[in-house]
Amino acid sequence: MTSRSGSTSTDLRRARLAGLAYVALAGLDTALAGSASASRRRARVLVKPLLMPALAASFAAATHGRADTPARRATLAAHGLSWAGDVALLEPGETRFLAGVGGFLGAHLAYLRVFGEHGRPLGDPAGRRGPLAAAALWSVAAPVMARGAGRTAPALRLPVMGYIGVLLAMGAASTRLADDVDPRAAATIRAGAALFLTSDTVIGTREFLLTDPGPRSDAVVMATYTAGQGLIALGIARMLEKHR
């Protein structure tokens, strides 16, 4: 992942190397997650925790020189919170699951701050389709997921509904970026947010609605998750380049 221009050649080289490392780690972790071999899946404990540090290193190098930008700090915070979620979800259990949900909830809130800072004013009628679609989707998906979660753990009902609301708000905010945001950056961010939403939807479906999803669902989760995170980071880097 690299921004378009403006960083030094050293920064760009570091961004490219870290970005390539992220892509390689993402591919490896996706393959391990979808493996039928239990020993290979256990090897993820060595791979998955490296994903977000690699992405954060790439993003930090690509946006070097903008350390005081709130959007840059919030994006790096999202990477750190996502790392906490990744590590928590390496092991099963309700406590670990709630910790993972908490980490990713914080990450979505951090991205919401970025998109809000560079978004349209709340009263701007343009771009209302995203929020309206998100509200409609929440009204259908949140009760279904909450009911599924409540079958085994009633305490998860409200957290699941709240998490889905924040997730969809993040996705909606990605569709309301201001007109002065680079169109390619905006499109990249929207694609990344959509993939992140897809990943979490698969997780919810697997955890709360299916009885035996199998390891292939884990591969789908990681493929969409890592691609989504990478695209969001790339889009924000491009967006910050114009606002440097």
| Number of helices followed by number of strands (H, E) in the chain | 10, 0
Residue type, 177: L
Instruction: Record the tokens describing residue 222, joined without a space.
Output: 């990681």
**44 with 92: CB under 8 angstroms?**
no
Separation between Cα atoms, residue 148 and residue 171, nearest integer Å: 23
Strand partners, 119: 177
**217 with 198: CB under 8 angstroms?**
no
Q: Which helix (H) or strand (E) holds 18?
A: helix 9-33
> Which residues 6+ apart lie within 8 Å of 203 measured at CB?
221
9 burial level (CB within 10 Å; 0-12, 13-18, 19+): exposed
Could you give the percent of the chain with pLDDT greater than 70? 94
Cα–Cα distances (Å) from 54 to 7, 63, 141, 184, in that order, read 18, 14, 33, 23
Instruction: Record the tokens describing residue 69, joined without a space.
Output: 């930008």
The confidence score (pLDDT) of residue 156 equals: 83
- Among 85-94, 190-199, 211-220, 225-234, where is mean pLDDT lowest? 211-220
Task: Quick: pLDDT tens for 199-218.
Answer: 999 998 988 887 777 668 89
**118 with 178: CB under 8 angstroms?**
yes
Task: Quick: pLDDT tens for 110-145.
Answer: 999 999 999 888 777 777 888 888 999 999 988 999
Closest Cα to residue 72, out of 189, 238, 243, 240? 240
Task: Quick: pLDDT tens for 146-204.
Answer: 898 888 788 888 888 999 999 999 999 999 999 999 999 999 999 999 999 999 999 98
Helix 157-174, helix 94-117: angle, nearest 10: 30
Separation between Cα atoms, residue 25 and residue 31, nearest integer Å: 10
Closest Cα to residue 59, out of 188, 243, 239, 233? 233
DSSP per position, 151-215 = HH-GGGHHHHHHHHHHHHHHHHHHT-B-TTS-HHHHHHHHHHHHHHHHHHHHHHHHHHT-S---T
Write down the domain spans for the chain: 9-242
pLDDT > 70? residue 67: no
> Which residues 6+ apart lie within 8 Å of 201 measured at CB?
141
Q: Taking the complete model, does pTM exceed 0.75, yes or no?
A: yes
